[in-house]
Structure 1
Amino acid sequence: MASTASPTIRARRLRRELRRLRAQQGLTVDEVARSVGWHRAKVIRIEQGHSGVSSDGLRKLLDLYEASPDERDALASLARQARQKGWWSAYGDVLPDDYVGFEAEAAAISTFQSLYVPGLLQTEEYARAIIHAGRTTANKEEVDRVIAARQARKVLLTRDVPPKLWIILDEAAVRRAVGGAKVMRAQLARIVEACQLSTVEVQVLPFAAGAHASMGGAFTILDYAEAALDPTIVYVDNDTNTLLLEEEQQVSRYRLVFDHLRAKALDPDQSADFLVRVSAELQD
């Protein structure tokens, strides 16, 4: 399947460029707001991605920023693309944040998961067990929609140029028999199968490795083909919310953490053997 441009990424490019043009003119948020007749909160919401910008609003900003004709054309195109709908918009009720939109155009996905197998490699039965455990009041229709959304995400791995997927799994995620022994054996087999793909690497971080650099929990690093336009993003997950980190210092810290985890984990071949052994040990 061919890769498609992500509206989420285009919206991020647009707001980054608007911040750059404002800084280039030496204008503060308050000065922009006064010049275009907006409340300063509107300027902040647009620059932080909490609000879109209309065609007329974009024109006002570009006039104020003295944008060149090429810049105007490029940003108008970005704004049009940002207003389009990605496939994930149909699942807005079960995909509450922008992660999938950022994931959709990633050239590389590097993730550490401490408690469960990441969604891109989950079997349907494993996913259902996870969802039922976390959404104790969910009805069948809601669960089915979450499953459908997760299945749609997996198309990412079969596009013409799939992202490089590097997963480090804590042994706890491998040992926990989610859904029972039969479901977990099938899930482990799915991971081993994915390891055969040239674009997928899986490492297991064993209990024997002791303390490590990400004891606080899971995170994902998203890298993009055009790094100058789309700098790396880090997502940090916990039970209550998801943090998006973009500052260079924050990204560098998590990249260093991931490198430390890779060094402590079993290598990919050893990890595949480990998964096979764990599967054989599961008792019905």
Structure 2
Amino acid sequence: MRENSTILRIRLGAELRELRDRLGLSLDAACKALAESDQDISVSKLSRLENGKGAIRLQDIRALLDLYEVAGGAQRDALLRMAREAKAVAPAAWWTDYESILPSGLSTYVGMEAGAGRLLTFTLTLIDGLLQTEAYAHALIRAWAPADPPETIERLVELRVQRQKLLVAEPGLELVTIMDEAALRRPIGGAATMRAQLRHVADVCERLANVTVHVVPLCAGAYGPQHGMFTLIEPRNPADKPVAYVDSLGGNLYMQRPDQISRFRVMFDRLRAIALDPEDSLRVIRAVAEEMSS
């Protein structure tokens, strides 16, 4: 099975960043050391490479491996092979049609999502994107980017709908999402839009065995990760490593170190422990939908 090129780029970048960190080199120090060896890699270019972005040149990868004292052996061979495969020209992915209107970093996420076997997500104030109706998504995107022209908003909504096809594809993407009850009660787009949205979530959960929703009730009080949302991306290909994705004000973060993945798994399990089970969660979702009718 051919590995997802987006995941390969993320993996390669994470490995290079870990090698740099082991030597205690900053981005600036690494680039200065490369310059002394007549290798021209700027700080911004190295940063993009470590974050799975930008063009991959094998001569740059070789220079970095030399600097990081990976002179030979299985590790060097594996990283160069990864670079070649990530660099290889592949058929254009469907989401590349939307790259011109995608917010920074989202193209990488969509690529990783397309290669996932399971997503574990936590949402605090919003319905998960893979479960959003067109009307809800339209209201949400318009609120996020009020200055965007209508055609851009329509294209972003279209992209969201396209992504949802992963849930009904073969094999279907498994989605386990935990959402705070606040996400159910925030009337994005108005009461009618929200009522239809909640009914849609409940209907999808009942129709698709690969979709599970847990609700953290308001009565749970304060709990750990109330500061934001995150996604654990488990690739379909077992050769790929899981990735933790956090969408923050400081930018999109992709984490892949085993200790980081373990920390997010523990966090997700703790959330699931305080959340309602799937049956009770569906009852709450349908009850809130009826409240929107009154």
Shorter-chain TM-score: which interval?
0.7 to 0.9
Q: TM-score, normalised by structure 1?
A: 0.82
Secondary structure of the residue that 2:116 maps to in structure 1?
coil
Distance 2:172 2:150 in 1: 32
The one-letter code matched in structure 2 to 1:223 is E
Q: Could you give the per-residue CA deviations for residues 204-233 of structure 1, whole angstroms, max 9, x where no partner exists?
A: 111011111211121111112445x43222
Which residue, 168, 180, 204 being the options, matches 1:158? 168
Q: CA deviation at 1:65?
A: 4.2
Distance 1:281 1:272 in 2: 14
Distance 1:94 1:187 in 2: 24
Call closer, same or farther: CA 1:114–1:45 in 2, change over 3 Å: closer
Q: Could you give the per-residue CA deviations for residues 229-282 of structure 1, whole angstroms, max 9, x where no partner exists?
A: 432221222456332222332322221111111111110011111111111111
Which residue, 238, 242, 245 being the options, matches 1:232? 242
Identify unmatched segments of 5+ residues in structure 2. Answer: none
Secondary structure of the residue that 1:212 maps to in structure 2?
coil
Count of matched residue pairs: 279
Equivalent residue number for residue 12 of structure 1: 10
Higher deviation after alignment, 29-38 or 252-261: 29-38
Equivalent residue number for residue 52 of structure 1: 55
CA contact (8 A) 1:6 1:86 kept: no
The one-letter code matched in structure 2 to 1:37 is Q
Q: Does 1:37 align with 2:39?
A: yes
Paired residues for 1:176-215 under 5 Å: 176-196=186-206, 197-215=208-226
Equivalent residue number for residue 231 of structure 2: 220
CA contact (8 A) 2:180 2:216 kept: yes
Q: TM-score, normalised by structure 2?
A: 0.80
Q: CA deviation at 1:35?
A: 5.1
Secondary structure of the residue that 2:213 maps to in structure 1?
strand
Distance 2:153 2:226 in 1: 30
Distance 1:40 1:135 in 2: 32
Identity rate, percent: 35
Paired residues for 1:1-284 under 5 Å: 6-15=4-13, 29=30, 37-39=39-41, 41=43, 45-54=48-57, 57=60, 65-66=71-72, 71=78, 75-81=83-89, 85-92=92-99, 93-97=101-105, 98-196=108-206, 197-227=208-238, 229-239=239-249, 241-283=251-293
Identify unmatched segments of 5+ residues in structure 1. Answer: none
Distance 2:268 2:84 in 1: 37
